[in-house]
Structure formats: structure tokens, C-alpha cells
Chains A and B, each alone.
Chain A
Amino acid sequence: MEFSSRARLKHARLAGDRREQYPHSLQFYLEPPMESISLVEFESFAVDRLKLLKVIENLGVSHVRGTDVYKSKLESELRKLKFPYRALAEDDYEARRKDHISHFILRLAYCQSEDLRRWFLQQEMDLFRYRFNELTESLMQKFLEHANLSFEAVSMARERDAAGEPGGGGGSPPVGLADAVDLFRARKVFIKDGFAYVPFKEIDVIVLNNYRTKLSKALALTARSLPSIQSDERLQPLLNHLSHSYVGPDYSIQKNTGKISLEQIDALSVKSFPLCMRQLHRALRDSHHLRHGGRMQYGLFLKGIGLTLEQALEFWKKEFIRGKVDADKFDKGYAYSIRHSYGKEGRRTDYTPYSCMKIIMSNPPSQGDYHGCPFRHSDPELLKQKLQSYKIPPSGITQVLELVKGVHYQLACQKFFELTHDVDDIGFSLNHPNQYFTESQKLLNGGRELKKEFNNSGNFQQKNNSQESTNSSSTPTSSNAKADTELEGLEAYFTED
């Protein structure tokens, strides 16, 4: 970050009074932070903000923005993550500082592609909108003045038509037509001399447009200066992780190891496997073989549901032998790679089962493959037939296909869960196949009650960043954003993908 002389002066002036640096609970993020921070703080701020934005994404899909439910959940999340959560007029310095710094760090991570920028912009806009609407009118005035959004109160009220006209009472600030396009086009506000007079209650639209424009430009600029940042070895791995991370349980630490027997798998595949794994299992049984992509995806899933290494070796061997592979060949080739994925060979990294995002985003299946996400990778017609063969009612199928069309693959899978388990509300936000399994088992075995509170552990809605953007077209569904599994240790923050 460069120091211009103007910024240096400003910095010197502000150094004495930290409260002055962040006079409001929200900001336009026009000036990057100038202080030095430790790598630890860098990392933790970034991760916290990422969690926040993922919560916002999730809430935006599951609830209508601006409703009480939405607001209270968002507020509790902000508190938990120690971001500014209320339009306090008093000193909230630490939270505001964190807000400031973390925003700019995430800019670095999310400026790199069109899809990432779009995602980041959408969540930041939702966050801004929430905070702006929490301001009282007087705080709003102060904020707008401070932000220098040339709003001058004009007393055109006397020259205007009688009250009862749409468009605000006296003192509505004039706004350029380009900044109030939607209000202008729909004749929702008073227009005179090339200005729209926007009443305070609609001012958020204007301010948001302003914010979006500024942030959009800033992201484009940041992308251009990225090469120099990427050369910093300390930052590069972190930034990469941030834009690809799955923030939730990784199912690498199996609590249920050994609790599943091989004989149960067929039955389980029908009852509790997500469609992707059910499909892989079926293919394995039918052809006695799976290609590498399928072996990885399914094999790690099985590990995640509790299969021990010994069980896994037995399982795969038994099946492959029925095909074209003889025992020797299996032991020499396939067995090694199974042990490898259990961390018993080579790098001895304990590979973690793939999350939905990973499955949807990477390694699309080709002819002869059965891995991937059926909602993403299957032809809708074939998907429909498959659902019909599973006796899903037509109305349910339509709902699933609608979600697929809207690029909401995980929501489609959630709907599938609801239809196959005969529940109205899945009760959690799906983003990992093993989560599907665990939840399904819980439901079927009358397991412990689902935790009602939405805590900041895993289960954020994982929208794939490199898909066509779902965010601008996502409509609120009725599925609940409740989470119930706990975050297992800080190591889970950055799963090896």
C-alpha cells in the first residue's frame, strides 16, 4: 500500500484520535488501511469477514432481506464475529477497524475474476444495505454529509405541487437522474430540472447505487494491481484459500469410524446417501468399476461416513474383482491409492471428503464418469427420469428442476432430501455430502434433536464462485438456515481441497 503525502498527513492527524478515524458504524471503504498489522491478525480478520459474507449469502437465500428474522440473525452473527453490529454513535473502534481492514483484505482475494467480484459485490452490498437501514435519520444525515454525497437540502417544497404527490416532503435532497434511474423511470419520485427529489425513506437506493459503483470500480482497479501483491509469498497462499475455502466441518475426523458395516451400504445408499453418492454406488455395483474421479469422490465420502481403511480395501476389492480386475492387480494398484487417501502412504496427508462446492466446481465428469453433482452435471431430462424412477412426486420434481434451472444446485439437493425424507423443511443448509448423510441418519434414527440456534459454525450455503452468478437472481426459499454441527477446531478453517 502506497503512502501518498496527503494520506500521510491524514494519518498523522488521525493518529492522535482513533475515534475520529471511524466516526460511523459503516463506511464506503474509500481509503485503504494504512497501519501495519500482523499476519495473524491479517488472517483472522479475513476469515471472520469471509464467514460473515457467507452467512449473508445464506440468509439472503433463505429469508427475505430486511425482515425481522433476517435482521436479527445477521445482527447476532455480526456480534459473534466482532464486527460493528449496531449503529452506535459511540466508540466502536475495534470492531470498525476490523471491518475496515477485513474488507480491504477480501478485496485482494475476490477481485481476481468476474464471478468472484460479482459474489463479493453482492454480499458487501447486502451488508451495507443492512447497516445503512439500521441508522437513525439523524445518523443517516451525518453519515451522508461525512461521505460527501452532494446532497443539499433544497426547499423546493413551496414550488412543488401540493402534498399527497409521490416524491417526498420538503427537504428531500435532489439527486441526479442517473443515480435514481429506477425511481425516475417508474415515476415514484418528483422530477424537476433534471433532478429527482428522493424522500429519505428511498435514499438507500441512491446510496447503494453509489456504493456499488464505487466498489465495482475499486475491484477492477485492485485486479490490475494484483500481480505485485501476488508476489508476496506470505499473502498469496492465504488469498488463494480465501477465495476457494469451504468454511465448515471437513469430516476428516470421523466420529463414527467402524460403526458402518459393509452389508449396510446398499441399503444406506438408497436411504441416506445424497444423489451424487447414490449414483456412484449404483455405477460401482453395476460396472464393478469406477474411474479415478469417481473413486476419489465416493471413496472419501465413505471414509467420511466411517469406513475404516480395512473396510474400504475390502469393499473396493470385492467389487472390482467381480469386474475385470484380478486380486493381484487390485493389491498392486488400487489398494495403494486407497491407502494413500487414508493418509497411510506418500505424503500421508489425511485427505478430506469433498464438499459440495468442490464437487460442483472442479473436475466435471466426462463420458464414462459418474462423479460430479447430478444437479449440476446431469442433463435435466435425465435427472427428471432418474427422479421419476425414485418415485418422487411430479410436483416435487418440478420444484427440483426449477432450482436447477436457477443454478441453485445445493438447494435442489436440499429439496431432494426433503422429498425423500418426507419433511417440509430440511432444517439445515446443505453444503457437504457427508452432512447430508449424517443428517439423514439422524432423522431416520430419531437421533439427537437438531440444534435450533444458528451458530457460526459450518453449514453456510456454499454457492459456487465460478458458476453463473446465482446471487443476483436468487429468490428466497423457505428452507431454514439452521445449523447444527459444531466447528471442529480451527484447523477446519482451511481444508485441503
Chain B
Amino acid sequence: MAPFEPAALPELLPVFYRRLFPHGPYGRWLSYGGVKNYFQLREFSFTLRDDVYLRFQSFSSPQELERELQKINPYKIDIGAVYSHRPNQHNTVHLGAFQPQEKELVFDIDMTDYDDVRSCCSSADICSKCWTLMTIAVRIIDRALVEDLGVRHRLWVYSGRRGVHCWVCDDAVRKWSPALRAAAVEYLSLVKGGADTVKKVNLSHPVHPFIRHSVNVVEKYFEEYALRGQDILGSPEKWDKVLALIPEEHREALQAEFPRRKDSVQRWELLRARLERTRGRPAAQGPCYADWEVMLQFCFPRLDINVSKGLNHLLKSPFSVHPKTGRVSVPLDLQRLDQFDPFAVPTITSLCQELDTANSDGEQEDGGATEPKRRTRDYKKTSLAPYVRVFEQFVEGMESARRGERIRRSDLQGDF
């Protein structure tokens, strides 16, 4: 497979939007069952070549969106809010009347926010070692969304380069105020402080169930990721950083003992056991959660509140192409989260190549088929198929919930 070249985008994007982009389920998703003009009031923004940026695009139907995408072939698609008026007419509305009304609750988790705790890569780079951080983040946040916040319909998406996004689509949540969204982010935040803060996680007794659950998740990955992969106690330099997060009373003993252990795993066990013993201490001295605090500082998700808070924030659309990596922003299959490999995600180049191969094989068979049909089945011939399947399941989930709700309501009203 040839590597992706950004210069090829103008050539590849038309193919992408005609034969690969899943317009069908995409349109069904954003129509939300056809409720009150939802689709028509939605803002999209397109980024064209040379960073030309078109905001406040809106369309009368998913079909129109499809046609426009195939005409404009944007480098990137962003989804914004559902507004009070059609975004493409916002200039005709007098100032103040054009307001965002609803939007999915979204999260953006970016690997660069973890630079202070990963030693394998930094900034835009990722590798299979540090990708585990995203896995942990998805597991922790998703559990909290479902169990604590009662969310049912959420879509996790690979951002295309160095992180993940989450789209929470429940009817009620789409109506949340910015204040409530901000509160949700704070509820989900444990790592506080910037470059100047050494100790970024501080837990007090009693520990909230959310924290307890999150620690349980981290524990499952900690040995493999932090102790073996990142080797956070692998050398005096490294373990000093960790010991800086522990109360002074424990540091000396651990510092003395650490050199005598052979690896991070053993050293961690020492540290953990020592701190766990403090848990039984009487309330006055207080149980110490420093070991949890270390685990969380190294592994707990870091959210950007600005992305989630505002109704008018734009976020990259699922199935948009990342202009720098060429990778498609594909949905994550939560059932197979641990097997997800960001480097195996198809690029637009590889997909187009697959299409070429598939066509030369399949043309004879589909000789009689009509054009549109051939096109809609095209992505199924490529490695995009499983990702579209995940997306379809997500959309179907919402549709079936809506049907169930209609039935329930009509039962209540005694309709037949």
C-alpha cells in the first residue's frame, strides 16, 4: 500500500465522498428521526484546501448535504450546533436572535495533554505503547457516562491522529446547558494543574464512587502500561519523579529500598503495599491514597473543558479525513477496544487503492447493477466496512429507542 500524501487529497476526496463516505447512516443519525427541522438547523463547517474555512453551512436534507459534499469535496468536515434559524441564513437574522439551541455533548481527549507523563512520545506523536492511555480514557469515561450519567447513545471516534472524541447523543443531553456540560466535565476530572504543578491529583477521604471505579479501571492496565511499557520506576531519575508525588514520610524508606528491586513492577508493589497499610489508619491521621494518586496522575483521562462546554463549539465529524495523516475518523468498537490499533486505521489512499482492486474484481459481476447501488455498496468492499457497521449499529440503536418511546407514549395515551 502506498503511503498517504497530502498532495493527493484533491484527487482522492471526490472518490471518498462519492463511494466511501457513509451518507446513508450519517444522514439518519443527524436527522434524529426527523424531529422539528433538526437537520436543517444544524451547522456544518467545511475546510477546503489552503485552509479556506466555510462556516455556517446548512442543508435542507441529507441528500442535499451529500450533493454538496460531492461538489465541494472539503478537506475536513466539522459539526456544530443546532441553531434557532438555518445557519446559512444567519445573516438575515438580527443580532442576538440567532442562537445555538441544542448539540450533542462532546469530549475530546488528546494525547498531547499527557506529555508530562509519557516517555515514549511527545506532542503529535503516538505509538502503540502510549495508545493505552486512550483505551483507559475511553473505558473510564464511558463507564461514567453510562452508569453515572445514565447515557445510552454515545459514539466514540478515533480523531485521525492522536486522540479520541466522544459524541453523546441522548435527547435529554443534547438540551443540556453550557453550565451543566461544564459540570459534567468537572465531575469527570481528576487531574488538575499545568506545568507548574507537580502533584496533579489529590484525593481526600471519603473517596467518591466515581474515583473508586476509575481506579479499578486503571488498575487493569497499570502494570502493562505504566510499569512495563512506560517503566515509570525504571531508574532513579524516573522514580524520583514518582516519589515526589508521595508524602515525605514514605519517601526515604522507598528511596533506600528501590535500588534493591529489579524492576518497576517490584518497586511499585513495594510502594503500593506500604501505602495500602495506611488505609486502616484512624481518621485523625487519615488514610493515604497516594498510590491511587500516582496511578491517576499517570493514567487518568485529561479532558479539555472548552470543547465540551459551549453549545457552539465545532468538532470534527466522524468519517472526516485527517488532512495530515489521511486517516479516516472512524468509530471505535467498544467490544474490541483493547485490540484497536490507530496505525491500522485505513487512510484515504489505502481505501482508494482497495476500491481499485475491488472494482477490477467485481465489475463483471455487477455489470447490470445501477450506478447508485454500486456506489453505496462500495465502502463495504473496503476495510472501512467494519467501522461503518459500528456506526450503523449506533444509529439503529437510537432509532429503535425512538420507536420504543413512541410505542410507550401511544400506550399511555391509549392510542391504537
Chain A CB within 8 A of B239 CB: no
Shortest C-beta distance, B83 to chain A (Å), equals: 22
A160–B148 alpha-carbon span in the complex (Å): 12
Interface string of A395-434 (1 = CB under 8 A from B): 0000000000000000000000000000000000000000
Chain A interface size, as a band, is: 20 to 34
- Indicate if the CB atoms of A177 and B180 lie closer than 8 Å: yes
Q: Which residues of B contact A161 (CB under 8 A)?
A: 209, 212
A167–B211 alpha-carbon span in the complex (Å): 14
Chain A CB within 8 A of B53 CB: no
Q: Which residues of B contact A181 (CB under 8 A)?
A: 179-180, 183
Given contacts A192-B148, A194-B150, contact A187 B183 (CB under 8 A): no
Chain B CB within 8 A of A323 CB: no
Q: Which residues of A contact B148 (CB under 8 A)?
A: 191-194
Interface string of B205-218 (1 = CB under 8 A from A): 01111111000000
Q: Which residues of A contact B150 (CB under 8 A)?
A: 192-195
Which of A182, A185, A190, A193 has a CB less than 8 Å from the CB of B209?
A190
Chain B CB within 8 A of A186 CB: yes
Q: Which residues of A contact B120 (CB under 8 A)?
A: none
Q: Which residues of A contact B208 (CB under 8 A)?
A: 165-167, 187
Chain B CB within 8 A of A93 CB: no
A187–B202 alpha-carbon span in the complex (Å): 14
Nearest A residue (CB) for B175:
A178
A229–B20 alpha-carbon span in the complex (Å): 65
Chain A CB within 8 A of B72 CB: no
Which of B176, B177, B182, B206 has a CB less than 8 Å from the CB of A166?
B206
Chain A CB within 8 A of B151 CB: yes
- Indicate if the CB atoms of A165 and B209 lie closer than 8 Å: yes
Q: Which residues of A contact B211 (CB under 8 A)?
A: 187
Which of B172, B176, B177, B187 has a CB less than 8 Å from the CB of A185?
B187
Q: Which residues of B contact A193 (CB under 8 A)?
A: 147-150
Which of B149, B183, B206, B210 has a CB less than 8 Å from the CB of A194?
B149
Chain B CB within 8 A of A164 CB: yes
Q: Which residues of B contact A160 (CB under 8 A)?
A: 209
Shortest C-beta distance, B236 to chain A (Å), equals: 36
Shortest C-beta distance, B102 to chain A (Å), equals: 14
Which of B147, B172, B183, B209 has a CB less than 8 Å from the CB of A184?
B183
Nearest A residue (CB) for B212:
A161
A98–B12 alpha-carbon span in the complex (Å): 77
Interface residues of B in 148-205 (CB under 8 A from A): 148-151, 172, 176-177, 179-180, 182-184, 186-187
A161–B210 alpha-carbon span in the complex (Å): 11
A182–B176 alpha-carbon span in the complex (Å): 15
A167–B179 alpha-carbon span in the complex (Å): 22
Interface residues of B in 121-152 (CB under 8 A from A): 147-151
- Indicate if the CB atoms of A184 and B206 lie closer than 8 Å: no
Q: Which residues of B contact A187 (CB under 8 A)?
A: 187, 208, 210-211
Q: Which residues of A contact B187 (CB under 8 A)?
A: 184-185, 187, 191
Shortest C-beta distance, B211 to chain A (Å), equals: 8
Shortest C-beta distance, B241 to chain A (Å), equals: 27
Which of B147, B176, B180, B207 has a CB less than 8 Å from the CB of A192?
B147
Q: Which residues of A contact B176 (CB under 8 A)?
A: 178
A186–B147 alpha-carbon span in the complex (Å): 18
A349–B207 alpha-carbon span in the complex (Å): 69
Interface residues of A in 151-192 (CB under 8 A from B): 160-161, 164-167, 177-178, 181-182, 184-187, 190-192
- Indicate if the CB atoms of A191 and B212 lie closer than 8 Å: no
Shortest C-beta distance, B197 to chain A (Å), equals: 19
Nearest B residue (CB) for A188:
B208
A108–B14 alpha-carbon span in the complex (Å): 64
Nearest A residue (CB) for B173:
A194
Q: Which residues of A contact B210 (CB under 8 A)?
A: 187, 191
Nearest B residue (CB) for A177:
B180
- Indicate if the CB atoms of A177 and B209 lie closer than 8 Å: no
A164–B150 alpha-carbon span in the complex (Å): 23
Q: Which residues of A contact B147 (CB under 8 A)?
A: 192-193
Interface residues of B in 43-100 (CB under 8 A from A): none
Shortest C-beta distance, B224 to chain A (Å), equals: 27
A383–B357 alpha-carbon span in the complex (Å): 82
Which of B177, B186, B206 has a CB less than 8 Å from the CB of A164?
B206
* Residue with the greatest number of chain A CB neighbours at <10 A, chosen from B151, B176, B187: B187
Which of B182, B183, B207, B212 has a CB less than 8 Å from the CB of A177?
B183
A164–B209 alpha-carbon span in the complex (Å): 10
Which of A166, A178, A191 has a CB less than 8 Å from the CB of B180?
A178
* Residue with the greatest number of chain B CB neighbours at <10 A, chosen from A185, A193, A195: A185
Nearest B residue (CB) for A184:
B183
A177–B175 alpha-carbon span in the complex (Å): 13
Shortest C-beta distance, A247 to chain B (Å), equals: 37
Interface residues of B in 108-125 (CB under 8 A from A): none
Q: Which residues of A contact B209 (CB under 8 A)?
A: 160-161, 165, 167, 190
Interfacial residues, chain B to chain A (CB-CB below 8 A): 147-151, 172, 176-177, 179-180, 182-184, 186-187, 206-212
Closest 3 CB pairs between A and B?
Answer: A194-B150, A185-B183, A193-B150
7 contacts between A and B (CB under 8 A): A160-B209, A167-B209, A177-B149, A181-B180, A187-B210, A191-B149, A193-B147
Interfacial residues, chain A to chain B (CB-CB below 8 A): 160-161, 164-167, 177-178, 181-182, 184-187, 190-195
Other than A178-B176, A187-B210, A192-B147, give 7 A-B pairs with Cβ distance below 8 A: A164-B206, A166-B208, A177-B183, A181-B180, A184-B184, A185-B183, A193-B148
